[in-house]
Amino acid sequence: MDTFDFTNDPLTAAQVETLASLLAEQWSEKARNGFLVTSGRFLDDFGRDRTEELGVLYKTDLLKGRVALRRSLEALLDSVGSLAQFERDFPVLINDPERGSLGVFPQLPILGIEEIASKLYRVADSKATVHGTGESLRDFIVREGKLPYLEPPARFVLRKKPHIHWCSYECYESPLATRSALQILPAWNTDCGLRATLPTAGMEGTAFVAFNGDSRYSDNKPGTFAGYYVELRAQDHPDLPGGGLQIGVFGSPTVSALEEWIDAQNRWSAIWCRPT
């Protein structure tokens, strides 16, 4: 049987049907095949299908959102050549005697993100430092006017999860609301007291659908396949409400404003704004 013959797989067939309803008049077989490159990653460890969440992420209730989703899926297919080429170039290996276990992480871009949202938000610990330098993140942003550099993927299909700036469309009224909506656990030791506003203008090609961030299994062992699915909405930890949309951003995105939470005043306070 053809690996990508979704008509014989009821789960994938249902995903394609959902995709067709999201794309509406923007439907194309090329977009469908781009989706088939990554459709398996939209089924999470809890058995949930996240395909429908693409509608919220790309805002497919609007024509510009449907266009963005179609363009993004078609770009993913272009990057692998064809479904047959993708299967040949990126086999998934499980305990291979020579190469061990090898996963596949297709990166779905959010092309046209500036048409979908004018800005994103990145929250961090108020005491965070820049990896490798020890400089406070706050001081770095004020000095450079951008977030620290994270290398973009060299191609759209990777063999391991990349490091990303976890961003959101929404700015929440407090650090507590932020932690709740984005399911930022206490174990991660962040007070969410620093918030950067990122304009999406110029972000084309650096914003992607985010993969689950887990790199270890629940027994604390590292694993190639830990968190082997995309995570559009934060909804994996039942102790927190979740529901916040998440976007992965690479490079050094520009910061237009930086805020800090003032506990004594119970409010966000602007500590830096990009000069106009």
The single-letter DSSP state of residue 188 is: G
pLDDT attached to residue 140: 98
The single-letter DSSP state of residue 47 is: S
Residue 3 CB-density burial (10 A; 0-12 exposed, 13-18 middle, 19+ buried): exposed
pLDDT attached to residue 99: 85
- The per-type count for the chain, helices as H runs and strands as E runs, is 8, 11
- Residue identified by tokens 């490798």 is 132
Specify the 3-state DSSP secondary structure of 37. helix
pLDDT tens-place values along the chain, 276 residues long: 456 777 778 999 999 999 999 999 999 999 999 999 999 999 988 888 999 999 999 999 999 999 999 999 999 999 999 999 999 999 999 888 888 888 999 999 999 999 999 999 999 999 999 998 999 999 999 999 999 999 999 999 999 999 999 999 999 999 999 999 999 988 888 999 999 999 999 999 999 999 988 877 777 777 778 789 999 999 888 888 889 999 999 999 999 999 999 999 999 999 999 987
Cross-strand partners of 157 = 106
Kind plus residue range of the DSSP H or E element containing 272: strand 267-273
Predicted TM-score (pTM) of the model is: 0.93
CA angle 253, 164, 105 (to 5 degrees): 130
Specify the 3-state DSSP secondary structure of 197. strand
- State how far the alpha carbon of 145 is from the alpha carbons of 67, 142, 253, in Å: 31, 6, 9
Looking from the CA of 232 toward its CB, the CA atoms found within 13 Å total: 21
Percentages of the chain per state (helix, strand, coil), in multiples of 5: 35, 20, 45
